[in-house]
Structure 1
Amino acid sequence: MLRSIKKLHKAIAAPIDDLVTYRAIPTQSIEYLDPFLFLNHHGPQTYGPNNRGLPFGPHPHRGFETLTFILAGDIMHQDTGGGQSVIEAGGVQWMTAGSGLIHAEISSDKFKKTGGPLEILQLWFNLPAKYKMVAPTYKGLTKEEIPVVEEDGGKVKVNVVSGSWGDVQGGMQSLSDIHMASINLEAGGSFTTSIDAARTVFFYVVSGQVQVNNKVVPKLNLVEFGNDGNEIKVEASEDAVILLGHALPYNEPVVSHGPFVMNTEQEIREAFRDYQLGKMGTWEG
């Protein structure tokens, strides 16, 4: 049975300095899709030589995880937990903020010097209460380290980031069994996947246009599904890129304030206090 589609939510323009940005969630039409909290879509745009690069200098996080897809350009990551790497196009970065850390996400010196195309998506996953205060971790995967599954004679390429796709295990396994993939479709390419009806589906069209369960979905749209079926059928009417993931909802209170996502207001106050006391590390970059 095909899942019903409750609504399409168009990403809103939310530029950051000179960085073209669309925010798909949260917006006025949707707060979050438990446990998926936030998606910023940066670019696509082209930077000239001797640019300032990405503007995300040192800032703290607690209580959730971030997954960053680098479609073009690069990101240099550094954090107070010891994580550090430069990931280029086709790669991803997964950070579990957990109990808290400070990190920076900026462009490499090479990119700032030479410039070039840039397109990056960052997705935030909530952590359930039992994992809110786990030790922070970071892992970066290059394009070559992400398993690829081909569907429809190679017209569809599924980059399996976490969880699994059929019998293929992703490059990472999340604490909360979150399955995530980025999928490249050629015009006319199609696939059908089955996702248990109890699980929340995350589906965002990065570029191109697709038909999902018989509904046309243009780029920069987030699809909100019902929980009344398990089949998702996708066909590309033009070359397209989508993010597709799923997870069981936590059904817990979500209290967020800037860089912290917890279950209560008291926990938010504690997060600010711990950050100010240096318990999330001291930035020396």
Structure 2
Amino acid sequence: MEKERPIEYKVSALKTRVGNHPILQAFPQPGMDHANPFLLLHHLKIERQSGDHPLLYVPPHPHRGFCPVSLVFDGAVEHRDSLGNDEIIDEGGVQWITAGKGIIHSEKEALNENGKKYCNFQLIQLWINLREQDKLSDPSYLPLTKDQLPKVPFEGRKSKVKLISGNYKSIVGPERRTSDINIFTIESVKGEHLCFDLPHKHQVIVYQLEGVSRIGNEFVEPGDLVYFEPEKGKIKISILESGKILLLSAEQWKEKVVAHGPFVMNREIEIMEAIRDFETGQMGRM
């Protein structure tokens, strides 16, 4: 039997803000700048039972050189962009933006079918890098409903595991341009044990949104992130309290990362070019 992969470290997400909204930032943070190709993980959770929080609204802004990916766990998000897309992503869905050479978009929290705010709203935004040769590719937008995300079967388990991108045990995620990057969402059920046999060359990240898990000798609570270096060994998650989990795995990229605000490139001069192209309208207009 293959051994369990040892944990490299566990960190707790930092509290920060996007506009008027408090969020958790799992990375970058001191001690974990990024895990290229994973560059940023923001976690926003609004519970309106405890107060009348304003609707989330992020005004039009540009991106270049990476993929901003939004995973909607509760509520719904309305997206508009400079390509002409206007979509609402409901609970359980994902929007995958490949910014490429440039896109401008806005996001706001959508109302429910009765025209009222959702009681709960929960979103993960994940920034995934693009390879140097793809950074100036044509931008694209892929909306995915929860029914378009394939389930990964775990025999005898009630926990629901879905694959957004990558390949796992003959299951292929619907986002095909990043087939070497695995992104799983997990609705975990108390008392169950989940074991993932991921490629040994992959670094692995587990982020706990809700509930409590035990991984190795660590108790993992909401806002905790566990990181594994590439190494032989399976990833085992014991569910102590039902919840929601994000699991990421990919080979480490050795390309240089130069980031400035909404732009992620390989060289400082390319950041200057991105700013120029945005200011002169070459990334399109809303």
TM-score tier by shorter-chain length is over 0.9
* Native 8 Å contact 2:75 2:110 kept in 1: no
Stretch of structure 1 that moved more, 132-141 or 224-233: 224-233
Equivalent in the alignment of 2:5: 3
* Native 8 Å contact 1:51 1:113 kept in 2: no
Equivalent in the alignment of 2:21: 19
- For 1:103-142, list aligned pairs within 5 A: 103-108=105-110, 110=112, 113-116=115-118, 117-142=120-145
Q: Are 1:245 and 2:248 counterparts?
A: yes
SS of equivalent residue, structure 1 residue 133 = coil
Amino acid at match of 1:100: G
Equivalent in the alignment of 2:171: 168
Cα separation, partners in 2 of 1:214 and 1:166, compared to 1, 3 Å: farther
- 1:75 and 1:163 mapped to 2: Cα distance? 24
Equivalent in the alignment of 2:151: 148
* Native 8 Å contact 2:165 2:179 kept in 1: no
Equivalent in the alignment of 2:220: 217
Equivalent in the alignment of 2:182: 179
* TM-score of the two chains, using structure 2 as the length reference: 0.92
Q: Are 1:56 and 2:58 counterparts?
A: yes
Shift of 1:251: 0.3
* Native 8 Å contact 1:83 1:139 kept in 2: no
Shift of 1:152: 4.8
SS of equivalent residue, structure 2 residue 274 = helix
Stretch of structure 1 that moved more, 235-244 or 155-164: 155-164
Cα separation, partners in 2 of 1:201 and 1:112, compared to 1, 3 Å: farther
- 2:200 and 2:102 mapped to 1: Cα distance? 33
* Native 8 Å contact 1:71 1:91 kept in 2: yes
Amino acid at match of 2:216: N
Q: Are 1:256 and 2:264 counterparts?
A: no
Residues 105-126 of structure 1: CA distance to partner in whole angstroms, max 9, x if unpaired?
1122558941121011110001
Amino acid at match of 2:76: D
* Native 8 Å contact 1:25 1:39 kept in 2: yes
Shift of 1:228: 2.4
Amino acid at match of 1:65: C
Residues 13-34 of structure 1: CA distance to partner in whole angstroms, max 9, x if unpaired?
1133442311111112310011
Shift of 1:176: 5.7
Stretch of structure 1 that moved more, 154-163 or 102-111: 102-111
* Native 8 Å contact 1:147 1:168 kept in 2: yes
Unmatched runs of 5 consecutive residues or more in structure 1: none
Q: Are 1:87 and 2:93 counterparts?
A: no
Shift of 1:214: 3.8
SS of equivalent residue, structure 1 residue 278 = coil
Shift of 1:157: 1.0
SS of equivalent residue, structure 1 residue 31 = coil
- For 1:189-208, list aligned pairs within 5 A: 189-208=192-211
Cα separation, partners in 2 of 1:120 and 1:90, compared to 1, 3 Å: same
Which of the numbers 148, 157, 162 marks the counterpart of 2:160?
157
Shift of 1:158: 0.5
* Native 8 Å contact 2:165 2:178 kept in 1: no
Equivalent in the alignment of 1:73: 75
SS of equivalent residue, structure 1 residue 5 = coil
Q: Percent identity?
A: 34
Shift of 1:177: 1.8
- 1:104 and 1:125 mapped to 2: Cα distance? 18
Amino acid at match of 2:39: L
Equivalent in the alignment of 1:101: 103
* TM-score of the two chains, using structure 1 as the length reference: 0.93
* Native 8 Å contact 2:189 2:241 kept in 1: yes
Amino acid at match of 2:177: S
Residues 69-120 of structure 1: CA distance to partner in whole angstroms, max 9, x if unpaired?
1111111111112332101111111110011110011122558941121011
Residues 41-67 of structure 1: CA distance to partner in whole angstroms, max 9, x if unpaired?
001422899975212110000000022
